[in-house]
Structure 1
Amino acid sequence: MKLNLEQIPRVKTITKEKFLKEYVQLQKPVVIEQLIMDWPAYKKWDLSYINSVAGDKTVPLYDDRPISSEFKFNEAHTSMRMSEYLGLLEKGSTNYRIFLYNLLKEAPKLQDDFKYPDEIGLKFMKKLPFLFFGGKGSKVFMHYDIDLANILHFHFHGEKQCILFPPSETKFLYKVPHALISHQNIDFNAPDFNKWPALQHAKGYITNLKHGEALYMPEGYWHQMTYLTPGFSMSIRSVSRKTTNFIKATYNFFIMRHFDNLMRKTRGQKWINYKNEEAILRTNKRNGYS
């Protein structure tokens, strides 16, 4: 069996009025295929170009190991020079990913290659464009972002698969308590419904993003990415419009992540194991599978 996923709607271009009315106000995702064709990045950005402007930088790396008490919330697993990492990507021999690479700080030359698409009606936070890199087959676990922002996600160099779920489906996704993730043992590309029975009720979206395409992800949407080829993406953010989401984001920043780090430090792996067990127990009980 497969997840209940529908294709994310696609448009070549879009007006401000249509984007706000049909997608932002309704909190529905959409792929805009030709939003950035006038950016220098559309023609310039590939792995070779990134190497030329940032190859000497030391970058934090993450892999797909299970979350453990060894690392703090969002703490990198290792680091290496960007040039070395890009070499691994081109060989197709790594599951290391770069997560939240601050391009304004680390490679300011890249700022000349893009502009904020304010014409679509969202006000973007101008200091927070991040880059994400992955090798063929590498996966980003199912999660939602700590700030519950409206996100525009642009992909470059290759193709990656994106699976999304709206916040309404959280009750089916085996959310880990005191965290922003679903249970990491779930394979969202081939889920075992005998082991994760509530998942069969979740209704979500799927698309494959190609070079230059932009994906709008509404506030608090769950997302899981699989790199079908080596490549990278850039996200820009607009703050939550919903007051409830702004309050939740504030809680995530100032209470939840600090509490989780404290518990990892004091209880170690027992805390991680407890959260994973609770994700299963709570979800199955909520959906009548206990």
Structure 2
Amino acid sequence: MKLNLEQIPRESTLTKEEFLHKYFKPQRPVVIERFVEDWPAYSKWNLDYMKEIAGDKEVPLYDDRPVRHDEGFNEPHAKMKMWEYVDLLKSEPTKYRIFLWNVLKEVPQLQKDFSYPDFGLRLMKGLPMLFFGGSNSHTFMHYDIDLANIFHFHFEGKKQCILFPQSETKFLYKIPHSLITREDIDFADPDLEKWPALKHAKGHIANLEHGNVLYIPEGYWHHMKYISPGFSMSLRAIARRPKNFGKALYNILFMRYFDNLMRRIQGQKWIDWKNERAIVRTQKVLVRK
């Protein structure tokens, strides 16, 4: 038995009016297949180009090891030069990923290769972020701290994206005081006997290829798996729905600081307690169904 996932709609291209009416207002994900073909990035951006233009930059790397109490918020697991990382990606499978790598800050000239599209939303122009991964590397299922509307532009290789709306959180074994689910769930191939609540979660799935754009609505959970080495860029717009905007403020101004404080006070006991509570809370939902 597999997860209950429907294919995300795919459009060749969309006008601003079509996007707002069909996808933004109802908060539905969509893959736009041919939106960026006039960008220089469409023909230029690949791993070799990133190695050439940013090879000497030191990049932060992350893998799929479980969260530890003594690691800070988004603290990298390793660092290496971009040229070394690209060579690694192209030579063998690796769990190491780059995420939240600010294009403007690190390699300003890359901004000449793309423009900010007019989707009818005000994009945060200071925060274009790049994400890299090797074959079969993946993120944990998570949602972003600011519950933003995300436009995810993919370059080189293939990437599998699994999404769930916030309404399905009760079935996902969410870790309290965090933005992730249980880290031992493989959402690409979950054990539904061990995690039975997942049978009730209704989500979405799509594979991305070079030049595709995935719109991820406000606060959607997302799990990204690199089928082959590649990278993506995300542009974002703030949450517009009052409930999501309020939750974003809570996460940014209180939740992350409270969680870090409890890690310092209780250490690994805090992490273990949160992992156990994720199961207990989700089982209570199953009992009520």
TM category, shorter:
over 0.9
Say how many residue pairs are matched. 289
Give the equivalent residue in structure 2 for 1:55.
55
- Residue 219 of structure 1 aligns to a residue whose secondary structure is coil
In the alignment, does 2:122 pair up with 1:123?
Answer: yes
Bigger drift between 86-95 and 166-175 goes to 86-95
- Determine whether 1:44 maps to 2:52: no
| Residue 29 in structure 1 maps to residue 29 in structure 2 | yes
Q: Matches of 1:94 and 1:188 in 2, distance apart?
A: 19
Separation of aligned partners in 2, 1:256 and 1:77: 23
Q: Which residue type is aligned with residue 171 of structure 2?
A: F
Q: CA deviation at 1:59?
A: 0.7
DSSP 3-state at the match of 2:250: helix
Residue of structure 1 in register with 2:142 after alignment: 143
Deviates more, 1:74-83 or 1:107-116: 74-83
Indicate the residue corresponding to 2:4 in structure 1: 4
| RMSD (Å), alpha carbons | 1.1
Q: Distance in 2 between matches of 1:94 and 1:190?
A: 19
Kept in 2, the 8 Å contact 1:144–1:180? The answer is yes
**1:72 aligns to what?**
72
Q: For 1:141, give the aligned amino acid.
A: F
**Counterpart mapping for 1:1-290 below 5 A:** 1-118=1-118, 120-288=119-287
How far is 1:70 from its partner? 2.4
Distance (Å, rounded) in 2 between the aligned partners of 1:92 and 1:116: 34
Any idea what the Cα deviations from partners look like across 1:217-237, whole Å, max 9, x if unmatched? 000000001000000000000
State the shift of 1:264 in Å. Answer: 1.1
Q: Secondary structure at the match of 1:204?
A: strand
Mapped to 1, the partners of 2:48 and 2:99 lie a distance apart of 19
Contact 1:73–1:260, Cα closer than 8 Å, also in 2: no
Check conservation: 1:158, 1:210, Cα contact below 8 A: yes
Query: Structure 1 regions of 5+ residues with no counterpart?
Result: none
**SS of equivalent to 2:287:** coil
Cα deviation, 1:245-269, whole Å, max 9, x if unaligned, reads: 1111111011000111111111111
CA distance in 2, matches of 1:84, 1:251: 39
**Separation (CA, whole Å) in 1 of partners of 2:51 and 2:188:** 31
Write the deviation string for residues 24-66 of structure 1: whole angstroms up to 9, x where unpaired. 0000000000110000000000000001111100111100101
* Structure 1 stretches of 4+ moved >4 Å: none
Q: Which runs of 5+ in 2 are unaligned?
A: none
For the residue of structure 2 that corresponds to 1:151, the secondary structure is strand
8 Å CA contact retained: 2:133, 2:230: yes
Q: Alpha-carbon deviations, 1:114-167, whole Å to 9, x = none?
A: 00101x212101000000000001011100000000000000011100000011
Tell me if the contact between 2:93 and 2:136 (Cα under 8 Å) persists in the aligned partners.
no
Q: Return the TM-score normalized by structure 2.
A: 0.98
2:185 is matched by which residue type in structure 1? I
Alpha-carbon distance in structure 2 between the residues aligned to 1:133 and 1:189: 18
Classify the secondary structure of the residue corresponding to 1:280: helix
SS of 2:86's partner is helix
User: Is the contact between residue 69 and residue 264 of structure 1 (CA under 8 Å) also seen in structure 2?
Assistant: yes
Query: Is the Cα–Cα contact under 8 Å of residues 88 and 94 in structure 2 kept in the other structure?
Result: yes
SS in 2 for 1:158: coil
Deviation of 1:289 after TM superposition, in Å, equals: 8.0
8 Å CA contact 1:145–1:220 kept in 2: the answer is yes
Q: What SS does the aligned partner of 1:187 have?
A: coil
Offset at residue 93 of structure 1 (A): 3.3
TM-score for both structures, normalised by structure 1? 0.98
| Separation in 2, partners of 1:46, 1:109 | 15
Alpha-carbon separation, structure 2, partners of 1:77 and 1:70: 12
Moved more, 186-195 or 274-283: 186-195
